[in-house]
Homo-oligomer: A and B are copies of this chain.
Amino acid sequence: MKRLPLILASASPRRAELLKLLRVEFSVLPSDATEVAHEHLSPLEVCQLNAHLKARSVAKKIPDSLVLGADTLVFLDNEILGKPRDLAEAHRMLSWLQGRHHQVVTGVSLIHLRGHHERIFAVSTDVLFHPLDEEHIRHYLAKINPLDKAGAYAIQEFGELIISEISGSYSNVVGLPVEKLREEFAAWEAEV
Contact = CB atoms under 8 A, between A and B. Distances in A.
Interface string A134-148: 001001000000000
Contacts of A166: 165-166, 170
Interface string A13-33: 010011011010000000000
A79 interface: no
Interface string A93-109: 00000000000000000
Contact of A17 (B21, B161, B163): B161
Interface in A161-190: 161, 163-171, 173-174, 178-179
Contact of A179 (B156, B164, B169): B164
A149 interface: no
Task: Determine which residue in A155, A160, A173 has the highest number of CB atoms from chain B within 10 A of its CB, and name it.
Answer: A160
Contact of A164 (B139, B155, B160, B171): B171
A130 interface: yes
A159 interface: yes
A166 B178 CA distance: 15
A184 to B, nearest CB: 16
A171 B166 CA distance: 11
A133 interface: yes
A13 to B, nearest CB: 11
Contact of A158 (B23, B139, B156, B165): B156
Task: Determine which residue in A136, A164, A167 has the highest number of CB atoms from chain B within 10 A of its CB, and name it.
Answer: A164
8 contacts: A17-B160, A130-B171, A156-B160, A160-B173, A160-B174, A163-B170, A164-B170, A164-B171
